[in-house]
Chains A and B, each alone.
Chain A
Amino acid sequence: MKSATLPNVNGQKVRFSVYWWVPLLAVLAALPAVFSLSGFADYLNYVAVRIMILALYAMSFDIVYGYAGMFSLGHAAFLGGGAYVAGILTRQLGLDIQDTLPVLLAAALFGVVLGWVMGFLASRLASPLAVLLVTFAVAETLGLFVMADPLRITSADNGIPGIPRETLGWIIGIETEVGFYYVVLVILSLSYVALRAITRSPFGDALLAIRENRLRASFLGYRVTHYQIAAFMVSGLFGSLAGALTAFHEQSCSPEIFNFFVSGDAFIYTVLGGAGTLFGPLLGTTIMIVAQEVIGDIFHNWLFFLGLIYIGLIMFMPGGLYPLILARFTHDENSCMQDTAPRS
């Protein structure tokens, strides 16, 4: 059963054609112009940027979950960690940092280190429940520290307001919503290309092999724990990058970003789109954020619908949307119900 479900969507068989990318990017690049026709362009740009940042976050989760097959319920630690690195560096230490680039790099570095810690702990555990608990504990502990603020740098529950957002690389102005939109679009595209290269490299194949059968992979000579730690480090890099972008986007950060619902969001975005596909999380995030905007606006009870989505997704569409769409375009009926998500 297990070996039969090796995904063909992220492998060689089916591939989202490169020609799709040009129009897709063109549409995304033209979006701010479309938005400007409405009376509230800034807000629409704001939501679009939120989608892109959270898509990056979900993609980083896909590396750990979809490719390496470890269910982390502590992914919020990366997002929150990145956001707080940005907040602390720009506001709390009295440093005079004028530009966002060094902050983004620092956040990414932080993510790599935190990824090592989480990966180190997770790779030593056999059962998925244990991985889930330990990753959760890491995020919860970080959240507790931020709330308790023993070093007087996180300003506890008040969070850090007024995070400046002026330039990127001392040249590109990102103060306006539109400017920031394009910068985030470029970062997201580059991250996607990088992550795709990583997952299609021998490293990515090894991760899949470990995900499908950890024991067999180790017999083949793969050092399983090293690969798992590396997966967490890659994931942490992009997750914390997304976190720092969130802080710049909202120009503030606050402790509920470590909440386990934020970790759960990463899972839902990923699985709704299709885990182990890298493009799926993008799709899933878009749908979920738009749904949250609309449902939250009309019914004022987002959580109820979120719960229904959890149930419906797992019962009826565990493979996610992207494989369904792919099947439509490739007329490959077999791939439509492929459960690309890891089974354990």
Chain B
Amino acid sequence: MSKKDQKAAVNRRTFIKMGSGALVAVGSNWFLPKIVLGSDDEIRLGAMAALSGPVAPFGTEQANGIKLAVDLYNESGGINGRKIKLLQEDTESKKDVGFAVTRRLVERDKVHFLTGVCLSSIVLAIQPYIKEKKTIFVNSNSGNDILVKPPHCNRYYFKELISAWTITLAIQEPAKRIGKKWYFLADNYTHGKEIVDHAKRSLKSAVPDAEIVGEDFPNLGESNYAPYLTKIMAAQPDGLFIGVIGAGYVRSIKQARQMGLNCHIHTFCWFHDLAKAIGDGIVGSSTAALYMPDNPEVPRARKIADEYKKRFGHWPGTMAGEGFNGVECIFEAVKKAGTTDTEPVIETMESMEYTNTILSPSFRFRKADHQAIRALYTAEVTKDPTFTYGLKILRYQPHPTEYLTPESETGCESHMKP
């Protein structure tokens, strides 16, 4: 090390002093709980969403949906005269961060309600915690069914997203029209395997003589699907079920069309942004639609979608719709109950029927395990002048409960006690 560098180090030391001064200033801001900064009259809503990390595309949309819902409530005068204060935290798509920010929201910011989160690992980690702290958590984007099974289900946890089993019912309608030979491709992780299992069951119950010609589970976030697609082409299926999420959803379908795979494609769920990245290859495929911005049965949905487009610059996708609905599930119940106290709100949420939600005409949580009883649309992807790619409804099931455990057999009774 030369003499010159040593000299620089002294300056560096002053630099560090200044830096630590700034850090103390910023730190004191952290230490002040948000409750001090806001008025006590506000209803505080904690929202955890992945704004960075692998599931950031979902998390960002979800966060936008949540923000829009809160803003709309506040613009129309709040809930029973009280404004909502939204406290947004980034889970970074990591369980440890997600758990820590949840604790921060509950303990430091004293939030009344929690919403958000899409990764089931984060949900599983915070479920025992919210039970201990008796804080209501409406989880708007986790499909995994394990979340509402004992020992995880509990009184304070509400699962807003559709069951991973129910969503696979959407394969039935295209299966009846297309043909008998199906191939299954899904990510190599719990949810991917789960949906393939149930999609097979849905397929068999609709078309008893259906033939499953193959299945493959590429790694999560695989970059090149060509080796799988070659196998699929050799099997010559009539339909291909795709249960891949994120960037893989774009890559698998795009590469399939490039390689000349012309069979019918059924995707397990609809992602509007990703569909735009795929391009025209997606047109004609079928999908399960949970939220449609132009749902003809809920005229309100289009107005909300326009509002979303105005504020965030793009059309809302499924995750935005679910995030929005999660917030409404809480505050419609608060409105009805007339209080933010936990117990009355839970009882209201368990018993009330949500009507005219942006997802479907009706929606409710069942009392036994707090999972959503909600509509499922099977749709075909079409070209659309407004949305680039739109959806045409093939089948509407208002309350499909075929695959849900009967309410008397959930095994959650002991976990649901106050």
Closest A residue to B103 by CB, please name it.
A43
Contact of A337 among B9, B29, B94, B146 (CB under 8 A): B9
* Per-residue interface assignment for chain A, residues 147 to 158, with 1 indicating a CB less than 8 Å from any chain B CB and 0 otherwise: 110000001111
Q: Is the CB of B121 within 8 A of A162?
A: no
* Residues A300 and B6 in contact in the complex (CB < 8 Å), given A158-B144, A162-B128, A254-B121: no
Q: Is the CB of A317 within 8 A of B12?
A: yes
Q: Is the CB of A40 within 8 A of B108?
A: yes
Chain B residues in 8 Å Cβ range of A257 = 96
Chain B residues in 8 Å Cβ range of A29 = none
Kindly provide the distance from the CB of A197 to the nearest chain B CB, expressed in whole angstroms.
30
Contact of A333 among B6, B12, B96, B101 (CB under 8 A): B6
Q: Is the CB of B94 within 8 A of A256?
A: yes
A222 contacts the other chain (Cβ, under 8 Å)?
no
Chain A residues in 8 Å Cβ range of B92 = 296, 302-303
* Per-residue interface assignment for chain A, residues 50 to 66, with 1 indicating a CB less than 8 Å from any chain B CB and 0 otherwise: 10000000000000000
Q: Do most interface residues of chain B lie in helix, strand or loop, or is the interface mixed?
A: helix
* Residues A158 and B107 in contact in the complex (CB < 8 Å), given A47-B100, A250-B96: no
One of B73-81, B186-194, B356-364 contacting the partner: B186-194
Interface size on B, residues (CB 8 A): 51
Chain B residues in 8 Å Cβ range of A147 = 188-189, 220
B16 contacts the other chain (Cβ, under 8 Å)?
yes
Interface size on A, residues (CB 8 A): 50
Contact of B125 among A39, A251, A303 (CB under 8 A): A251
A252 contacts the other chain (Cβ, under 8 Å)?
yes
A46 contacts the other chain (Cβ, under 8 Å)?
yes
Closest B residue to A50 by CB, please name it.
B100
B151 contacts the other chain (Cβ, under 8 Å)?
yes
A291 contacts the other chain (Cβ, under 8 Å)?
yes
Kindly provide the distance from the CB of B19 to the nearest chain A CB, expressed in whole angstroms.
10
Most buried by A among B16, B33, B96: B96
Most buried by A among B27, B108, B122, B125: B125
Chain B residues in 8 Å Cβ range of A291 = 23
Q: Which residues of B contact A (CB under 8 A)?
A: 1, 5-6, 9, 12-13, 16, 23, 26-27, 29-31, 33, 51-52, 88-90, 92-97, 99-101, 103-104, 107-108, 110, 119-122, 124-125, 127-128, 144, 146, 151-152, 188-191, 219-220
11 contacts between A and B (CB under 8 A): A38-B31, A43-B107, A157-B119, A161-B124, A254-B96, A256-B121, A294-B26, A298-B26, A333-B6, A337-B6, A339-B1
Q: Which residues of A contact B (CB under 8 A)?
A: 38-40, 42-43, 46-47, 50, 144, 147-148, 155-159, 161-162, 246, 250-257, 290-291, 293-298, 300-303, 316-317, 321, 324, 328, 333-334, 336-339
Known contacts A157-B190, A251-B125, A324-B13; 5 further A-B pairs (Cβ under 8 A): A43-B104, A47-B100, A156-B189, A254-B96, A294-B30
